[in-house]
Homo-oligomer: A and B are copies of this chain.
């Protein structure tokens, strides 16, 4: 499994155009995207999510855990390690998420046009 790149989400700036939201809070969708390929440590998640403070990231992870979408596992062995992973339920959410994101990609021009028209009016 490849490491998560720091610029993973840098270009998804105008994500406010996407009319779909996943999870309870602002960062849930990005966390899910980070866990797509397998389990990740807290510090691994902080690399692409470097604009999120640890407090807020923790909050988001706790919400996802309460919603049954991820699991949190703690190891104390050599050094302290906490690993987050998608549950089967969380993994099954990827289908509808991809459907929604495909729609957004397909209609990006129209979304952009509508937004710009809304600004100049």
Contact = CB atoms under 8 A, between A and B. Distances in A.
Contact of A118 (B66, B95, B113): B66
Interface size class of A (residues with CB under 8 A): 20 to 34
A66 B16 CA distance: 12
A89 interface: yes
A50 interface: no
A32 to B, nearest CB: 9
Interface in A97-121: 99-100, 102-103, 107, 110-111, 113-115, 117-118
A28 B19 CA distance: 10
A57 B82 CA distance: 44
Nearest to A100: B96
